[in-house]
Amino acid sequence: MRHRPFPEIVTGERDWEVYEDTKQPRTDMTNKKMYVPLDGDCHKCGINHGRVIRRHELGHVKWSPKSFGKIAKGVHEEAIHLLEEVRVNHRLTYAGIPMDAPHTCLDEVNAYTRQLVEKGSITDLVKYGLASVFFIKKINYRGLWSTHYRRMKFEEYGYEYSSFIQAITDEIDSHTLKHSRVQDLEFAMEKISYFHMKMIHVSTKSHSITHKPAWARVKKLAIELSELFDLFNEKPQDDVRLSDDDKEKLEEALENEDDLNEAYEEAELSSPKDVAMLKSRNKQESNEIMFSYDDSKASWADYTMHKPALTINMNNKIRTGYTNVAKDRGVAPRKIHRYTVDRKIFTRKQNTYGGTILIDASGSMNFDGQDILDVMNEVPAVTIAMYNYYGWGNTSKKGDIRIIARNGRRVNDDYLDEHSGGGNYIDLPALEWLGKQAPRRIWVSDMQVVGFNGSGKENLQQCLDACNKYNIMRLADIGEVKSFARHLNVVR
Amino acid sequence: MSKKQTCWDLVSYAIGKSDRVLLYGPPGTGKTYSAVKHNAPLNINGDANVFQLVMTEESTSADLQGFYQIGENQQFEWSDGIAVQAWRNGGRLVINEIDHASPDAMTFLHAVLDDKDIAGITLNNKEKETVRPSEGFTVIATSNADPESLPQALKDRFPVAIHIDEIHPKALEKFPSEWHQAISDTSMTTDESERISIRKWDEFFKLQEQGLDLDIAGLIVFGDRAEELLDAIKLSEAE
């Protein structure tokens, strides 16, 4: 038996045509054509998937506009489609005819979600989640807090979304995924909830739920969603699973630590292991920050350069600071006195690790003299500078860049304590300064750059552009500097 | 033609002006209703001068021509068939389900439907009376099947054949206007598994008038198809 829906009853208009299409159900509002499955119960699971699909398409007939109108530059049509799905599914629930059965077999949802966990980009995950996120019951109030996947009441959501979240939770709880992948999944789920809530909350300041979100909201949110699509469309390059050794480490850590993220930290599985991972992590983090920033115009302060006395000499503690190394072969003997000792009478200019490290000291960077020593042991010829901006009593309206270590010497700890903290405002000028210093250039920052106009996308983009232009590698903290400084270094 | 002509517009133009009209299309659309009621000719008493019969495989030429039957005085009396009655009275002969007629009846229909100036039948009664169609005689036939299914000779005798692809507006009038398209589409579909007859729709509304709620009336009348209909109804009422 074929089940034909009745769009003409919904609209009261004539000339609707209904065609069978099981692969890509859709409704052409302009030409009054509906393409839906017309079959009955699924031969695999016994559920009539077509019924809810037909119901959903009728929802489009009822509430969707005939056309999307002019689509703003940069907005993906798919983003509009997905948000319209969210809106229509929500309205169906609040009209008393919810999508009360899955539109596809749940084992297929599970299998596809697991496939996305393995190979999907964050964008893929968000798209799949948004296509199915809706409440199955009428709920009038929902704080963001309770939309976190760990606190979610599955029975309140549509079957597919519950199955999707369950599959992701199971994957995370299997403790076989790399920490970065777990963070990807959590980020994707957070964003699905974010867009869902933005669509259905009465206002940005309210946690009350509107029964009738307007079409205008779709177009507005599509701008933001399209941006997410652009920023997070990269699929995982490497295996997302932990090695057997790392799995064991994580399991051991979990014996003492309940919090999964802490356990990853404890098992030392959080930090990037190589430069490729660093770059990937940096890209991910910058995208996340970019997504959270607003559209304010970039505006930066100027800076004052400080070269304080480097009163503490660390040369006696630094292991490898030589530039000319004795060799037993060469052209012109320069150390003839070594002939009787080790015959290394020749010298060759040894490449010495150095470069420049610029530390964003605006927040609490949490480093001290010992850290500087540790870094210098890795890259002896390094120059270390820090920058920040003090607002109170700052009549010059300038930030400060301070050289705090160079040539095996550093400032004392009091100086570090005294001048750390404050605001940013000179991130870009400081990076431009770094761009003129000796490579390898490292920027130690949380990338939460701030200009005079606040946290704007343009601020961050300018800083990222400067990093590309000057080949600056961003590291998250001084711990990463110790781990990667030598590896990253370009010898001089 | 500035306005799109519906099949019922064409029917209204043809009936009363053309002598031989064939109306064909799905059942339950109002073909017979129109054939009988539309511009029905009146006899001298002011009654409808319409003669109608339904053709079946059992129908014979005698049903059209006439036959003997035992009368009140226990003698055989000649009784004119429906076609001959229509001829004599110059009335409208409505032949329903013409495609179902037996070969015998169909052959006789050739004679009934001949052009008026040559049409004539000598009855097989005692008088061997020859009858000809009187002024005003017309034929309207109805069929659920396409005219192609009729024998060529019979088909040729209907110069006007109108495909009825819509329900008669009068039949729809009793339903709420927002339902007209759905009722029309579902009752006109050629797919038997999808078809919902207009009689079902009628019953659906009657049951509601008699106090059954929408869901129950839907389930009783439409069975498995009730859900689709109820979804659409609820959505039509939603804000």
ipTM of this predicted structure: 0.70
Structure tokens at A172: 């995370």
Q: Which residues contact B5 (CB under 8 A, 6 or more apart)?
A: none
| Whether B232 and A7 lie within 8 Å, measured CB to CB | yes
Has residue B2 got a pLDDT over 60?
A: no
B22 alpha-carbon distance from chain centroid: 9
Q: Say whether residue B234 is in contact with chain A using an 8 A CB cutoff.
A: yes
Q: How far apart are CA A308 and CA A294, in angstroms?
A: 37
Q: Say whether residue B177 is in contact with chain A using an 8 A CB cutoff.
A: yes
Min Cα distance A174 → chain B (Å) is 41
The sign of the torsion formed by the CA atoms of A263, A266, A267, A273 equals positive
The pair phi, psi for residue A356, each rounded to 5°, is -130, 135
Average pLDDT, chain B: 86
Question: How large is the average pLDDT for residues A147-164?
Answer: 91
Q: Tokens 């804000």 appear where?
A: B239
> How is A56-101 classified by DSSP, letter by letter?
HHHHHHHHS-SS--SPPTT--HHHHHHHHHHHHHHHHHHTT----S
Residue A348's beta-bridge partner residues?
A325
Please report the pLDDT score of residue B214 as a whole number.
Answer: 86
**Under a CB-based contact definition with an 8 Å cutoff, are residues A251 and A175 in contact?**
yes
Please report the pLDDT score of residue A102 as a whole number.
Answer: 94
Question: How large is the average pLDDT for residues A351-360?
Answer: 81
In this structure, what DSSP letter does residue A293 have? S
Contacts of A14 in chain B (CB under 8 A): 180-181, 184
Contacts of B201 in chain A (CB under 8 A): none
The larger pLDDT score, comparing residue B4 to residue B112, is at B112
Structure tokens at A102: 């899955």
Contacts of A61 in chain B (CB under 8 A): 235
3-state secondary structure of A280: helix
| Whether B181 and A13 lie within 8 Å, measured CB to CB | yes
**Under a CB-based contact definition with an 8 Å cutoff, are residues A40 and A4 in contact?**
no
Q: How far apart are CA B81 and CA A39, in angstroms?
A: 51
Q: Say whether residue B215 is in contact with chain A using an 8 A CB cutoff.
A: no
Q: What is the CA radius of gyration of chain A?
A: 29
| Whether A9 and B182 lie within 8 Å, measured CB to CB | yes
**Under a CB-based contact definition with an 8 Å cutoff, are residues B91 and B49 in contact?**
yes
Please report the pLDDT score of residue B187 as a whole number.
Answer: 81
**A341 band by pLDDT with thresholds 50, 70 and 90:** confident
Within 10 A of A265 (CB to CB), how many other CB atoms are there? 15
Has residue B129 got a pLDDT over 70?
A: yes
Contacts of A13 in chain B (CB under 8 A): 181
End-to-end CA distance of chain B: 39
Q: Say whether residue B200 is in contact with chain A using an 8 A CB cutoff.
A: no
Question: How large is the average pLDDT for residues B26-37?
Answer: 86
| Whether A14 and B239 lie within 8 Å, measured CB to CB | no
Structure tokens at B55: 């053709």
Contacts of B225 in chain A (CB under 8 A): 1, 3-4
Q: Say whether residue B182 is in contact with chain A using an 8 A CB cutoff.
A: yes
Reference B41, options B149, B131, B140, B115; nearest CA is B140
Q: How far apart are CA B221 and CA A351, in angstroms?
A: 91
Which range in A1-10, A114-123, A409-418 is most confidently predicted, on average pLDDT?
A114-123
Contacts of A97 in chain B (CB under 8 A): 231, 234-235
Has residue B193 got a pLDDT over 80?
A: no
Please report the pLDDT score of residue B23 as a whole number.
Answer: 95
**B1 band by pLDDT with thresholds 50, 70 and 90:** very low
Q: Say whether residue A100 is in contact with chain B using an 8 A CB cutoff.
A: no
Please report the pLDDT score of residue A413 as a whole number.
Answer: 85
- Taking only the tens place, the pLDDT of each residue in A264-306 is 988 888 777 777 888 888 888 899 899 889 989 999 999 999 9
The larger pLDDT score, comparing residue B132 to residue A373, is at B132
Size of the A and B interface in Cβ pairs below 8 Å = 76
**A228 band by pLDDT with thresholds 50, 70 and 90:** very high
**B198 band by pLDDT with thresholds 50, 70 and 90:** confident
Has residue A98 got a pLDDT over 50?
A: yes
Q: Say whether residue A46 is in contact with chain B using an 8 A CB cutoff.
A: no
B79 alpha-carbon distance from chain centroid: 25
Q: Tokens 């073909």 appear where?
A: B31
Please report the pLDDT score of residue A351 as a whole number.
Answer: 56
Contacts of B234 in chain A (CB under 8 A): 95-97
Min Cα distance B218 → chain A (Å) is 14
Inter-helix orientation angle A179-200/A159-173, to 10°: 160
**A397 band by pLDDT with thresholds 50, 70 and 90:** confident
Question: How large is the average pLDDT for residues A130-146?
Answer: 89
- Taking only the tens place, the pLDDT of each residue in B79-92 is 889 999 999 999 99
Q: What is the CA radius of gyration of chain B?
A: 22
Question: How large is the average pLDDT for residues B207-234?
Answer: 89
Please report the pLDDT score of residue A352 as a whole number.
Answer: 66
Among B235, B236, B237, the strongest candidate for a mutation testing the A interface, having the largest count of A CBs within 10 A, is B235
- Taking only the tens place, the pLDDT of each residue in A174-195 is 999 999 899 999 999 999 999 9
Strands B66-70 and B76-80: antiparallel
| Whether B232 and A10 lie within 8 Å, measured CB to CB | yes
Reference B28, options B200, B204, B209; nearest CA is B200
Among A8, A14, A215, the strongest candidate for a mutation testing the B interface, having the largest count of B CBs within 10 A, is A8
| Whether A54 and B180 lie within 8 Å, measured CB to CB | no
Measured between CB atoms, which of A5, A16, A40 is closest to B181?
A16
Question: How large is the average pLDDT for residues B211-233?
Answer: 88
In this structure, what DSSP letter does residue A411 have? -
Structure tokens at A61: 């007939």
Structure tokens at B95: 């032949």
Q: Say whether residue A14 is in contact with chain B using an 8 A CB cutoff.
A: yes
Inter-helix orientation angle B198-209/B180-188, to 10°: 140
Structure tokens at B184: 């029309």
Has residue A485 got a pLDDT over 80?
A: no
Q: Which residues contact A107 (CB under 8 A, 6 or more apart)?
A: A45
Helix (H) or strand (E) holding A113: helix A106-119
The sign of the torsion formed by the CA atoms of A434, A435, A439, A442 equals positive
Structure tokens at A16: 């609707």
| Whether A4 and B228 lie within 8 Å, measured CB to CB | yes
- Of chain A, the percentage scoring pLDDT greater than 70 comes to 95
Min Cα distance A279 → chain B (Å) is 51
Peptide bond into A406 cis (omega under 30): no
| Whether B235 and A58 lie within 8 Å, measured CB to CB | yes
Average pLDDT, chain A: 88
3-state secondary structure chain B: CCCCCCHHHHHHHHECCECEEEEECCCCCCHHHHHHHCCCCECCCCCECEEEEECCCCCCHHHHHEEEEECCCCCEEEEECHHHHHHHHCCEEEEECHHHCCHHHHHHHHHHCCCCCCCCEECCCCCCCEECCCCCCEEEEEECCCHHHCCHHHHHCCCEEEECCCCCHHHHCCCCHHHHHHHHHHHHCCCCCCCCCHHHHHHHHHHHHCCCCHHHHHHHHHHHHHHHHHHHHHHHHCC
| Whether A51 and B228 lie within 8 Å, measured CB to CB | yes
Residue of A nearest to B194 (CA): A2
Reference B234, options B210, B222, B211, B218; nearest CA is B218
Q: Say whether residue A138 is in contact with chain B using an 8 A CB cutoff.
A: no
Q: Tokens 């001959």 appear where?
A: B84
Q: How many residues belong to chain A?
A: 492
Measured between CB atoms, which of B177, B182, B193 is closest to A6?
B182
Please report the pLDDT score of residue A81 as a whole number.
Answer: 95
Q: How far apart are CA A39 and CA A51, in angstroms?
A: 8
Has residue A1 got a pLDDT over 70?
A: no
Please report the pLDDT score of residue A491 as a whole number.
Answer: 46
Q: How far apart are CA A82 and CA A61, in angstroms?
A: 16
**Under a CB-based contact definition with an 8 Å cutoff, are residues A251 and A237 in contact?**
no
- Pick from A101-105, A109-113, A444-448, B167-171: least confident: B167-171
**A350 band by pLDDT with thresholds 50, 70 and 90:** low
Has residue B139 got a pLDDT over 60?
A: yes
Q: How far apart are CA B82 and CA A108, in angstroms?
A: 67
